């Protein structure tokens, strides 16, 4: 039945065109809308993927915003929906709603140096930022990408690291918590915040984008503030349980903020006084 206005709960169909194995528990799905339209998104926004019969989950859109007719979601097998998604084959149909949420403030930070700090799967919402910078390199100053994961095998998008390093005036620093025996690793070992020692930031002209596990963001935010960064220039992308993406189901609330529509990207000034968050 037609309502005369759009039903925000109805997903559109998307076809799986390619599946990349990032590591044994993480896959990147390349999707194409069946109706031929592009999913116009900005870096940092998320979508909600349906595996019909199992349910919906929210994922960061992880591909380049410049790529118009396809988009990607990187999925780690951690729950019911993601486990179901691991059975999907190229050619299968999924449901997609979105894009939702407030993106990284890429327009606002034009002219600034950027530090991108990611932990584990937290690189997913930042990958579109890196692609955007590569395409619009003259809009930003120096770019430092600091990426940490549990082990070298837990890292994602490793096949793109070389091209990221080749972006002018851009450096990529890697670290892991632990190197399993017989694993080749020529980068740092330790928490991701330790990589900040390689960066010589010009405080007033630097913005920081952070995404990773909540505990990692907590320590990163504390350190950045101690280093002298402005709270208004440190941006985090938060994860919360979400059922609707449109500020109705209530689950993603932090204080009076809805992560789905006021976020997921917040600066530390906004987060400052909210409960149930990095304290």
Partner 1 sequence: MFIKEDARYWKLEMSFVLKREELPHFSKHIVSKGYSLFAPVKKEGRSAFKKIGEDHVDEISLDYIRTTMPPLKALLIPPKETLLRIKDGRIEEVLPNPADKIAIMGVHPCDVNAMSLLERVYTDRPEDPYFKARRNSLLIIALNCKSADEYCFCTSFGTGPSLDEGFDLLLTDLDEGFLVEVGSRKGAELVGDFYMPKALSTDLMEKDETIRRAKGMIRKHVNTAGIQRIMTGALYNPIWNELAGKCTGCGACNMVCPTCFCFNVVDEIELDSGSVLRSRTWDGCLLWEYAEVALGGNFRRDLSARIRQFVNHKMNYWLNQYGALGCVGCGRCIEQCPARIDITNVVARLRGELL
Region of 61-69, 165-173, 189-197, 236-244 interacting with partner 1 (CB under 8 A): 236-244
250 contributes a contact to partner 1 by CB under 8 A: yes
Minimum gap (Å) between residue 143 Cβ and partner 1: 30
If DSSP states are collapsed to H, E and C, what string results for 79-129? Answer: CHHHHHHCCCCCCCEEEEEEEECECCCCCCCCCCEEEEEEEHHHHHHHHHH
181 contributes a contact to partner 1 by CB under 8 A: no
* CB of 219 closer than 8 Å to CB of 244: no
In the chain, how long is the greatest CA-to-CA distance?
A: 62
Neighbours of 158 (CB within 10 A): 14
Minimum gap (Å) between residue 228 Cβ and partner 1: 27
| One character per residue 45-84, x = contact with partner 1 (rule: CB under 8 A) | -------xxxxx-------------------x-xx--x--
What is the distance between the alpha carbons of residues 86 and 72, in angstroms, rounded to a whole number? 15
Beta carbon nearer to partner 1, 84 or 167: 84
Binding residue (CB under 8 A) for partner 1 from 155, 244, 265, 268 = 244
**Of residues 82-111, those binding partner 1 (CB under 8 A):** 82, 93, 95
* Terminal CA-CA length for the chain: 47
**Of residues 120-159, those binding partner 1 (CB under 8 A):** none
* CB of 123 closer than 8 Å to CB of 173: no
Which residues of the shown chain bind partner 1 in the complex (CB under 8 A)?
A: 1, 3, 5-11, 13, 52-56, 76, 78-79, 82, 93, 95, 214, 239-241, 243-244, 246-251, 253-256, 258, 273, 275-277
């Amino acid at each position: 039945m037609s309502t005369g206005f759009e039903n925000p709960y109805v997903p559109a169909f998307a076809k799986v065109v390619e599946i990349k194995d990032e590591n044994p528990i993480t896959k990147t799905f390349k999707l194409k809308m069946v109706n031929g339209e592009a999913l116009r998104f900005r870096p940092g926004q998320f979508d909600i993927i349906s595996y019909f019969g199992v349910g919906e989950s929210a994922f960061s859109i992880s591909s380049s915003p410049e790529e118009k007719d396809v988009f990607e979601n990187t999925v780690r097998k951690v729950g019911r929906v993601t486990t179901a998604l691991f059975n999907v084959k190229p050619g299968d149909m999924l449901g997609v709603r979105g894009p939702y949420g407030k993106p990284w403030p890429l327009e606002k930070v034009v002219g600034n140096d950027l530090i991108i700090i990611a932990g584990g799967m937290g690189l997913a919402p930042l990958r579109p930022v890196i692609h955007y910078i590569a395409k619009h390199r003259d809009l930003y100053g120096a770019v430092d990408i600091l990426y940490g994961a549990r082990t070298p095998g837990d890292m994602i998008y490793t096949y793109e690291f070389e091209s990221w390093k080749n972006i002018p005036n851009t450096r990529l620093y890697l670290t892991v918590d632990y190197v399993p025996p017989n694993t080749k690793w020529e980068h740092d070992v330790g928490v991701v915040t330790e990589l900040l020692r390689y960066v010589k930031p010009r405080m007033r002209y630097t913005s920081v984008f952070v995404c990773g596990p909540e505990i990692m963001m907590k320590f990163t935010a504390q350190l950045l503030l101690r280093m002298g960064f402005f709270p208004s220039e440190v941006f985090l992308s938060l994860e919360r349980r979400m059922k609707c993406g449109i500020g109705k189901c209530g689950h993603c609330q932090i204080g009076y903020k809805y992560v789905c529509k006021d976020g997921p990207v917040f600066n530390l000034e906004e987060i400052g006084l909210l409960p149930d968050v990095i304290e």
